[in-house]
Amino acid sequence: MRKRYFGTDGIRGLANGTLLTPELALKVGQAAGRHFLNGGHRHRVLIGKDTRLSGYMLEQALTAGFTSVGMDVVQVGPMPTPAVALLTREMRADLGVMISASHNLYQDNGIKLFGPDGFKLSDADEAAIEAAIDEAVPLAASAAIGRARRIDDARGRYIHAVKASFPEGARLDGLRIVLDCAHGAAYRVAPEALWELGADLTTIGAAPDGFNINAECGSTHPAGLAAKVRDAGADIGIALDGDADRLILVDERGEVVDGDQILALISRSALVSGRLKGGAVAATVMSNLGLEYFLEAQGVGLLRTPVGDRHVLATMRAHGLNVGGEQSGHLILTDYSTTGDGLLAALQVLAVLVAEGRPASEVLRLFQPYPQLLENVPVSRERLLDHPGVQAAIADAEAELAGRGRLLVRPSGTEPLIRVMAEAQDEGLVRRAVGQVCEALRAAA
């Protein structure tokens, strides 16, 4: 059944738009709170957020919803999404909430929910909460209304946990790093963690004002980071996104390194050290064929999933894997975290740099990517992919790519777009395939 509120990664939309309003946040708090009220203990929900202006509004509305059904609320302020997942589990909370629209600009926001185990909610839990949002939820008696409090040591707890993933005794002394925090949730924790490990650190994108999150900075806009790395003569650049669950790198030459190359490095490191579980890695259908062939040469399988880190994680859990990720920079390392964590993944890369003593441009180029082209086509109506002209164009492109590459056409889970991607050794073939499908989509729109 199609969900009305939840998308591929929680509830997301324009703040104060037609969907994401304080009224909805209040109802989500009440519905989710009632769903997780079980047992005789005092119930608790932990709420974190990124730095966008609407976070204050949604935080208070959610708090009102949770407390009205009898749940205590712990507010931790601006904190990365993986920190909320970690703290939910460590503080024995019944539920965790992250208020963020990830890599989107400040106008958007979202609500992500985590269960007591620190993992994102199952489809069944989301469906149950959806059903309750539009119903009258029983409120707590006056004496049973929840309490809300803000805690100040959450940042230190997360920094300690992330640093624990770094090799014992290793340090970052002498390593010149430029860090872009995207004016987002990690603007304090990420610089502190790297400084404590001894890095020679230059930080950009660490002055949030409620409006500048992800604005021409962070993992989706690494050009500024690349320029800074070159100007500073740095060894590596690290770019996080607004809620710090993504990682994109820049080598010492100022060249961008995507999630596929990072996944290749972390996978090889885990394989060599005997830490890779399940004999395979999980990645989405968007990951480059070059990654697949690199892993195959290492004797490691690649299990492809639909786009979305929740699909990657589901495959990892089903097959007993501990490494997975997306080309966009979501890296999931379940030995340390229950969700994507950009800072944690960066530390795994930095550990290899320190151990090997080679430039980032050498360490982070493990395979030659196949030419790949992705274009986004705005859509104004549903079921555009069912149009006969679009289906014919897709069939023609697939026939031309058969045996030489692949085509992927899919609707975005977060925006009104259809994404068209092709890859093959022949770059001209890639451009023709994407072009003809996009042309058909625009003609049918």
Would you please indicate which residues are annotated as catalytic (active-site) residues? Answer: 102
DSSP string, 247-316: EEEEETTS-EE-HHHHHHHHHHHHHHTT---TTEEEEETTS-HHHHHHHHHTT-EEEEE-SSHHHHHHHH
Give yes or no for a contact between 225 and 250, defined as CB atoms under 8 angstroms apart.
yes
CA distance 159 to 254: 28
CA distance 419 to 20: 24
Q: What is the gyration radius of the CA atoms in the chain, in angstroms? A: 22
Give yes or no for a contact between 242 and 103, defined as CB atoms under 8 angstroms apart.
yes
CA distance 284 to 331: 11
Residue whose tokens read 């992330």: 162
- Percent helix, strand, coil in the chain, to 5, is 40, 20, 40
Give yes or no for a contact between 117 and 258, defined as CB atoms under 8 angstroms apart.
no
301-305/280-284 β-pairing? parallel
Strand partners, 250: 237, 256
CA distance 365 to 371: 15
